[in-house]
């Protein structure tokens, strides 16, 4: 069993059952390590969510931020786990436990990388900060977005930010996310008139009425995408109508859909197009929209260059830039003007039973984070 400090800290974090929105003492543990390095700690509690903003100022220069979350998704059926989810267990060079890959391993690597960096370069240029939430896996309304609102109100600007989401696919560092698509959810209710299936002239079937509109929505090409993003996608995720009886025409149809959109469009443009399409089918409907975040992109700049250089130096191969996947808290940080990328371990086991991360990934990730700090705050300063 490896005694590498990143692996040891990851074990300590996994042992704390921090299911959203609980932090379970993870931020206190991290805060103690950062305080010993001269970080000023600021706990920001909003409703049921605990957040940590930690900052260490050095010489003049930009503000680098490590961002991540201590909360994890529920473990689910415990009988399906080969080891208890909140008992960190090492088997053949792999560490098992809920949050191992998403993303307590990344947090541990960030802390240890910062400790090593400051020990070597105590008078580095610029400042280093940590933005840690316990609300990323939940409704994400009292976490990073509220911290960013607080920082913006006092004009405290992040220059560069690495989010520790598990970005890698085959080996740690093969892919870094330099952007994410936007996300927009629609909850559509189409009104009809309930009746007996034998007397359709006395009813109005909302399923029949909406079918052509839904088909048109599913077939619509919203945009062409661009060099960094695929075309905007539309997917129906839930659909329901009827009472359960086979002889009743339903009176209401409920449809939930989601669009993952590129920088070629906006949430408002999509809402306008969908509303016009629904209106053209003369439906009696109402629709509620949930906006989950704008797309963001860091297509160039000192952060991308520094991370590419750091990853190449550590693993010998240049990483691929990608915007694939779901949303992350980077969507709240990028609109402030910060350069944002995501770099973390292999994501194959995240949100699954027997979640795990390899010891090698944690060691390599620590080296990548440390080398990025050197690139930005020493070499390029």
Burial class (CB in 10 A: 0-12, 13-18, 19+), 104: buried
pLDDT at 41: 98
End-to-end CA distance of the chain: 38
Question: In this structure, what are the phi and psi dihedrals at residue 132, rounded to the nearest 5 degrees?
Answer: -125, 130
Catalytic one of 22, 71, 370, 375: 71
pLDDT at residue 246, rounded to an integer: 95
337: alpha, beta or left, given left = phi > 0 and alpha = psi -120 to 50? left
Tell me whether residue 152 is annotated as binding. Answer: no
Q: Is 137 annotated as a binding residue?
A: yes
What residues contact 296, with CB distance under 8 A and at least 6 apart?
179, 180, 330, 331, 334, 335, 340
| 21 SS3 class | coil
SS3 6: helix
The average pLDDT across 171-189 equals: 96
What are the tens digits of pLDDT across the range 339-348? 999 999 999 9
The answer to whether residue 187 is catalytic is no
The stretch 231-239 carries a mean pLDDT of 96
The CA angle 378-379-380, to the nearest 5 degrees, is: 100
Q: 143 to each of 66, 99, 172, how far by Cα in Å?
A: 15, 18, 27
Given a cut of 90, whether residue 3 has pLDDT beyond it is: no
What are the structure tokens assigned to 65, written together? 């931020």
* pLDDT for res 161: 98
Which of 22, 23, 135, 136 is labelled catalytic? 136
The pairing of strands 285-293 and 195-196 is: unpaired
State pLDDT tens for residues 79-125: 999 999 999 999 999 999 999 999 999 999 999 999 999 999 999 99
What is the share, in percent, of the chain residues with pLDDT greater than 70? 100
pTM: predicted TM-score of the whole model, two decimal places: 0.89
Residue 351 labelled as part of a binding site: yes
Q: Where are the domains of the chain?
A: 5-180+295-379, 182-293
pLDDT in tens, 248-276: 999 999 999 999 999 899 999 999 999 99
Confidence of residue 327 (pLDDT cuts 50, 70, 90): confident
Give the mean pLDDT of 345-361. 97
CATH fold, domain 5-180+295-379, is Aminopeptidase (3.40.630)
* Mean pLDDT of the region 329-352: 96
Mean pLDDT of 288-303: 92
> Residue 1: what pLDDT?
53
**Cα(207)–Cα(190) distance, rounded to whole angstroms?**
8
Mean of the per-residue pLDDT values for the chain?
Answer: 96
Is 284 an active-site residue? Answer: no
Q: 182-293 has which fold?
A: Alpha-Beta Plaits (3.30.70)
The whole-number pLDDT of residue 60 equals: 84
For residue range 47-74, what is the model confidence (pLDDT) as tens digits?
A: 999 999 999 998 789 999 999 999 999 9
Angle subtended at Cα 169 by Cα 261 and Cα 308, rounded to the nearest 5 degrees: 80
């Amino acid at each position: 069993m490896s005694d590498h400090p990143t692996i040891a800290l990851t074990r300590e974090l996994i042992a704390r059952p921090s299911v959203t929105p609980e932090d379970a003492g993870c931020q206190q543990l991290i805060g103690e390590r950062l305080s010993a390095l001269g970080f000023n700690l600021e706990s920001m509690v909003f409703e049921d969510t605990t957040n940590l903003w930690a900052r260490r100022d050095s010489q003049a220069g930009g503000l680098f931020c490590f961002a991540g979350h201590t909360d994890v998704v529920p473990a689910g059926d415990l009988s399906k786990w080969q080891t208890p989810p909140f008992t960190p267990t090492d088997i053949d060079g792999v560490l098992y436990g809920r949050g191992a890959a998403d993303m307590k391993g990344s947090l541990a690597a960030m802390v240890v990388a910062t400790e090593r960096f400051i020990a070597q370069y105590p008078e580095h240029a610029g400042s280093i900060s940590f933005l840690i939430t316990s609300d990323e896996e939940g409704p994400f309304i009292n976490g990073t977005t509220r911290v960013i609102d607080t920082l913006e109100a006092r004009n405290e600007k992040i220059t560069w930010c690495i989010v520790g989401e598990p970005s890698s696919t085959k080996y740690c560092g093969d892919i870094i996310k330099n952007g994410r698509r936007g996300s927009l959810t629609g909850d559509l209710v189409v009104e009809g008139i309930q009746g007996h299936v034998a007397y359709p002239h006395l009813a109005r079937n909302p399923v029949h009425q909406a079918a052509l509109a839904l088909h048109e929505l599913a077939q619509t090409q919203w945009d062409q995408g661009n060099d960094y993003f695929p075309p905007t996608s539309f997917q129906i995720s839930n659909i329901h109508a009827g009472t359960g009886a086979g002889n009743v025409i339903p009176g209401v149809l409920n449809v939930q859909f989601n669009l993952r959109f590129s920088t070629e469009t906006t949430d408002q443009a999509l809402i306008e197009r969908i509303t016009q399409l629904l209106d053209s089918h003369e439906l009696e409907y109402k629709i509620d929209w949930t906006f989950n975040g704008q797309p963001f992109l860091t297509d160039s700049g000192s952060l991308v260059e520094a991370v590419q250089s750091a990853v190449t130096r550590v693993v010998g191969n240049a990483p691929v830039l990608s915007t694939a996947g779901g949303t992350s808290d980077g969507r709240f940080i990028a609109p402030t003007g910060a350069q944002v990328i995501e770099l973390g371990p292999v994501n194959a086991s995240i949100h699954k039973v027997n979640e795990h991360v390899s010891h090698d990934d944690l060691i390599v990730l620590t080296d990548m984070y440390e080398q990025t700090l050197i690139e930005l705050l020493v070499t390029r300063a």
